[in-house]
């Protein structure tokens, strides 16, 4: 079993041990706050200007008070909660699909080792390398990155030529896996019942591939995102006019705090709605893929290589 090596270039997912309540207030890495600082700073400056001019706009006093903002803020929070639930459901479904990929990969490797009567070690290794190629090609397809380098270390030259020319590489590798099973049946290494067992797990791989493609190709409706985005920012921009008379110079601080809550919820939902990307809180596909390859390498008796990953899960331990 081969594993690609390279320099650590990206951080894919932040995995942090649980902190106490006080230290959680100052956590920076893995938070969306760095992305929001320019927007929150602009809102703070705007709020200062509104307080300085006592809530007037071009000599017109804007007649707003906190009551409508309280009612509307409650409704807006409900919509943001729904938006986050939808995004997290997509994130969790992607995680379950990759968890199923681990189980199916182990099952296929175990079947290749125990069900075949005349399968030699090289034939089994070829089959397991195909599984590894499926894993890395699926990762690259979901991220729209080039899989050629990873495929070369796992496939024979002829298979690599076939797969590299295709658009949907995981589906082509599934065909190669099926052809291996068919050859093993024709050579008498497995019987019809064992072939059916292999096909069941190959069908599960196909379901995993289709599930990941469904998440990737079906985003949350754009008009819904635009509506919520506009509503959040209009609410935050009007909020200082409703608080200036009652809070005076405390208005900018409270406005920024409320805006951080609403805008951060929207930013988190945007980040995790596509769980296969390369944002800090997306799924750690490299880490999970390497772990799957390591466990199936151990099943066939190989010592997993400890390779540097081009993209890595970062565990923060203080």
Bridge-based pairing of strands 10-16 and 311-316 is: parallel
pLDDT (average), residues 92-100: 96
State the pLDDT at residue 42. 94
pLDDT (average), residues 115-137: 88
State the pLDDT at residue 12. 43
* Closest CA relative to residue 310, chosen from 296, 291, 292, 290: 290
pLDDT digits (tens, 9 = 90+) for 276-285: 988 888 899 9
* Closest CA relative to residue 38, chosen from 256, 265, 254: 256
Count Cβ atoms within 10 A of the Cβ of residue 135 and give its class: 0-12 exposed, 13-18 middle, 19 or more buried: buried
Count Cβ atoms within 10 A of the Cβ of residue 9 and give its class: 0-12 exposed, 13-18 middle, 19 or more buried: exposed
Can you spell out the DSSP letters for 227-266? HHHHHHHHHHHHHHHHHHHHHGGGHHHHHHHHHHHHHHHH
State the pLDDT at residue 231. 92
CB-hemisphere CA count at 13 Å for 4? 24
pLDDT (average), residues 2-13: 37
For the whole model, what pTM was predicted? Answer: 0.82
Within-domain flag for 220: yes
State the pLDDT at residue 307. 35
Residue 220: strand, helix, or coil: coil
SS (H, E, C) 89-103: HHHHHHHHHHHHHHH
State the pLDDT at residue 4. 38
Within-domain flag for 4: no
Q: Which of 8-22, 217-231, 261-275 has the lowest mean pLDDT?
A: 8-22
Tell me what percent of the residues of the chain surpass a pLDDT of 70: 87
Within-domain flag for 2: no
pLDDT (average), residues 219-237: 90
pLDDT (average), residues 128-145: 95
- Report residue 61's pLDDT band, with 50, 70 and 90 as the boundaries: confident
Greatest distance between any 2 Cα atoms in the chain: 91
Contact in structure between 83 and 269 (CB atoms under 8 Å): yes
pLDDT (average), residues 48-70: 85
Q: Which of 209-223, 260-274, 275-289, 297-311 has the lowest mean pLDDT?
A: 297-311
pLDDT (average), residues 213-222: 91
* Closest CA relative to residue 174, chosen from 224, 134, 208: 134
Indicate the angle between helix axes 66-114 and 251-272, nearest 10 degrees: 30
**Whole-number mean pLDDT of the chain?**
85
Within-domain flag for 1: no
Contact in structure between 61 and 55 (CB atoms under 8 Å): yes
State the pLDDT at residue 262. 92
State the pLDDT at residue 236. 92
pLDDT digits (tens, 9 = 90+) for 29-47: 767 888 899 999 999 999 9
**Residue 318: pLDDT above 50?**
no
Within-domain flag for 243: yes
Residue 60 per-residue DSSP state:
E
Q: Which of 24-38, 40-54, 211-225 has the lowest mean pLDDT?
A: 24-38
How far apart CA 231 and CA 77 sit, in angstroms, is 11
- Report residue 15's pLDDT band, with 50, 70 and 90 as the boundaries: low
Structural domain total, the chain: 1
State the pLDDT at residue 19. 66
- Report residue 204's pLDDT band, with 50, 70 and 90 as the boundaries: very high
Contact in structure between 171 and 202 (CB atoms under 8 Å): no
State the pLDDT at residue 308. 30
Containing structural domain, residue 279? 10-316
pLDDT (average), residues 7-31: 59
- Report residue 64's pLDDT band, with 50, 70 and 90 as the boundaries: confident
């Amino acid at each position: 079993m081969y594993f690609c090596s390279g320099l650590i270039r990206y951080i894919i997912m932040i995995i942090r041990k649980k902190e106490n309540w006080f230290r959680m207030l100052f956590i920076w890495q893995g938070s969306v706050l760095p992305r929001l600082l320019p927007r929150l700073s602009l809102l703070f400056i705007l709020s200062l200007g509104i307080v300085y001019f006592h809530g007037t706009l071009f000599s017109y006093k804007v007649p707003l008070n906190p009551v409508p903002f309280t009612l509307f803020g409650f409704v807006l929070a409900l919509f943001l909660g729904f938006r986050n639930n939808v995004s997290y459901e997509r994130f969790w479904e992607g995680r379950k699909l990759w968890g199923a990929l681990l189980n199916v990969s182990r099952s296929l490797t175990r079947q290749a080792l125990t069900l075949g009567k005349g399968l030699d070690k090289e034939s089994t290794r070829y089959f397991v390398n195909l599984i590894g190629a499926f894993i890395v090609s699926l990762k690259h397809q979901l991220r729209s990155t080039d899989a050629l380098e990873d495929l070369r270390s796992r496939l024979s030259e002829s298979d690599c030529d076939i797969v590299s020319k295709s658009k949907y590489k995981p589906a082509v590798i599934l065909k190669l896996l099926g052809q291996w099973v068919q050859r093993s049946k024709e050579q008498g290494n497995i019987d019809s019942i064992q072939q059916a067992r292999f096909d069941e797990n190959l069908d599960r791989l196909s379901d995993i591939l289709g599930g990941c493609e469904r998440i990737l190709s079906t985003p949350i409706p754009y008009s819904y995102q635009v509506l919520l985005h506009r509503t959040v920012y209009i609410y935050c921009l009007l909020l200082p006019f409703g608080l200036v008379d009652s809070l005076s110079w405390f208005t900018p601080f409270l406005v920024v705090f409320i805006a951080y809550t609403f805008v951060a919820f929207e930013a988190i939902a945007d980040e995790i709605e596509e769980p296969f990307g390369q944002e800090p809180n997306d799924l750690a596909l490299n880490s999970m893929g390497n772990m799957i390859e390591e466990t199936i390498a151990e099943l066939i008796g190989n010592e997993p290589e400890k390779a540097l990953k081009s993209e890595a899960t970062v565990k923060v331990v203080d």
